[in-house]
A and B are shown apart, each in its own frame.
Chain A
Amino acid sequence: GNSVTQMEGPVTLSEEAFLTINCTYTATGYPSLFWYVQYPGEGLQLLLKATKADDKGSNKGFEATYRKETTSFHLEKGSVQVSDSAVYFCALSSIGGGSNYKLTFGKGTLLTVNP
């Protein structure tokens, strides 16, 4: 079945530090890949996505490139801010049983950015 593995947290950085959160996946076919972010007390929001190999998703200074050869979709940001503190989820979307295009999530990585 499909699965997503992302680096375990928590991750603690100082403001303006470089961020990488690793994500690898296992899936049949050609999944779409996503990063969702969950700020404290809120639901998940789509951060960025990529729908085919070599696509780069980007938003709010975050980037991730769909690497089919390494089955990876690592999240990066060059200079984090305190406001980036949140839980980040890597996810893939593919067709499952019963034609259900469901999202399969990683376990989440808690990022804390200190001033």
Chain B
Amino acid sequence: EAQVTQNPRYLITVTGKKLTVTCSQNMNHEYMSWYRQDPGLGLRQIYYSMNVEVTDKGDVPEGYKVSRKEKRNFPLILESPSPNQTSLYFCASSLYQGMETQYFGPGTRLLVL
């Protein structure tokens, strides 16, 4: 089944404790992206990757890092999480950069205490 998977689905952590949210797609997509969803703000792009080893900032990159060592994986790293990073995070992918239909993962709900 073609899908985007994220892990973990739910995470409670404390301020300053490094964490990684994994994202994997099995559709051989080149383009991958991370969004955060906050009430009243909709979805905002954090980082994106047009291909392996090519990443760039989206609209709200502060406090986040990403890496793209393999085509299928695009982990989101919070080196020192803070409470304002409490949010619902979505990974998405599409076949190419510029392909308009993106496929979304199920989301990761993060609470930073």
Q: Which residues of A contact B (CB under 8 A)?
A: 4, 32, 34, 36, 41-46, 49, 51, 89, 93, 95, 98-103, 105-108
Contact = CB atoms under 8 A, between A and B. Distances in A.
B74 interface: no
A93 B42 CA distance: 15
Interface in B68-113: 90, 92, 97-102, 104-107
Contact of B41 (A36, A95, A107): A107
A46 B103 CA distance: 8
Interface of B: 4, 33, 40-45, 48, 50, 56, 58, 90, 92, 97-102, 104-107
A45 B92 CA distance: 11
Given A43-B90, A98-B56, A108-B42, A103 B102 contact: yes
B56 A42 contact: no
> Interface majority SS on A: helix, strand, loop or mixed?
strand
Given A42-B106, A100-B48, A105 B42 contact: yes
Pairs of residues from A and B, 7 with the lowest C-beta to C-beta distance, nearest first: A43-B104, A107-B42, A105-B42, A105-B43, A44-B104, A101-B98, A93-B100
B73 to A, nearest CB: 17
Contacts of B58: 100, 102
Nearest to B97: A101
